[in-house]
Structure 1
């Protein structure tokens, strides 16, 4: 049975897991669902309440991993050095940054982006891409209830969006300072889980053109949101995040090793 990844397609934490698996050149099938509707598939897989969930094998030999960080660790175990630095000190630094981004940046970009997009019915085609047809229909029939539930669960309101904007600014400022010495990557001399996690979790506010899931066009946002996204993209941290997508999103570790590069 092929490895399965239960996702919400546009979730940036799912993109983090997807990117890690693809970089490690590990084949998997994506089992995509809308928010709320993903719960049943997650529970059937043996996960908790959230995505992504990786399911490898079946029956008594089945492995279930319900956390993007643990999924990347599982992937690196199968392709050592593809994501995690081999130097112990660099490895510890990369994992510390990954945890920082998971805790602070990820929730902030999600809340800010949802605040901009959830009121927009014209964005539904993007949000429902690659999910089962019945879920698309169910969203149309229950949209006000579903959106209200998501807003309450994630505390998506004007005050929450503003707090998230400040947190994004703070994280971007810290990354700009770290990159200020001219380094290309956050840890060491090569791409690592720290770079992947920052880029993936910043994607909802950077809208990278090379993102595998179609992102909303900049002109679809309000004038105020467009100005903010443009400012984030032009910042040192934003330019770095976009560069990680441009240079590394389609990179596979087997290809990197074959051509003798250092990733």
Structure 2
């Protein structure tokens, strides 16, 4: 019942116009490539250094809503909301070391029993 109203409010509030969405997607593509290069430079383990840090948390928090990792708030249980464009972008991200890294971090680090400093 409220879905059309919420959809209209979100579209209006975030100004989801076609040209702005295209600009945002282009910028996201640039940033994904930069982050992917940075990860590869650090041998694919973490963004900076040799353990999980705030940079890793930030990158994963930004990309997780696009990747829908299992066991997270972004996990999509209902395929009704999938678009072909989003599915293609998810496949693209998962083909990159960056997408695989985000999945790995969520699988191995999300429920770790140590604090963020590794102690």
After TM superposition, is the score higher than 0.5?
yes
Shift of the 157–216 alpha-carbon distance from structure 1 to 2, 3 Å rule, reads farther
1:23-78 alpha-carbon deviations (Å, 9 max, x no partner): xxxxxxxxxxxxxxxxxxxxxxxxxxxxxxxxxxxxxxxxxxxxxxxxxxxxxxxx
Runs of 4+ in 1 over 6 A off after TM superposition: none
Query: Could you state the TM-score of these two structures normalised by the residue count of structure 1?
Result: 0.40
- The change in CA–CA distance for 1:171 and 1:214 in structure 2 (over 3 A counts) is closer
- Structure with the higher strand share, 1 or 2: 1
Pairwise CA RMSD of aligned residues?
A: 2.4
Higher RCO structure (Cα 8 Å, ≥6 apart): 2
C-alpha contact (below 8 Å) 2:44/2:97 kept by paired residues: no
- Alpha-carbon separation, structure 1, partners of 2:100 and 2:62: 14
- Distance, in Å, in 1 between the alignment partners of 2:64 and 2:103 is 8
Q: How does 1:164-179 map to 2 (within 5 A)?
A: 164-179=24-39
Higher-Rg structure is 1
Q: Which runs of 5+ in 1 are unaligned?
A: 1-139
In the TM superposition, 1:20-59 aligns within 5 A as none
Instruction: Provide structure 2 residue ranges, at least 5 long, that are not aligned to the other structure.
Output: none
Matching residue of 1:147:
7
Aligned counterpart, 1:242 = 103
1:222 is matched with: 83
Instruction: Report the Cα distance in structure 2 between the residues aligned to 1:210 and 1:179, rounded to whole angstroms.
Output: 24
Length, aligned pairs only: 117
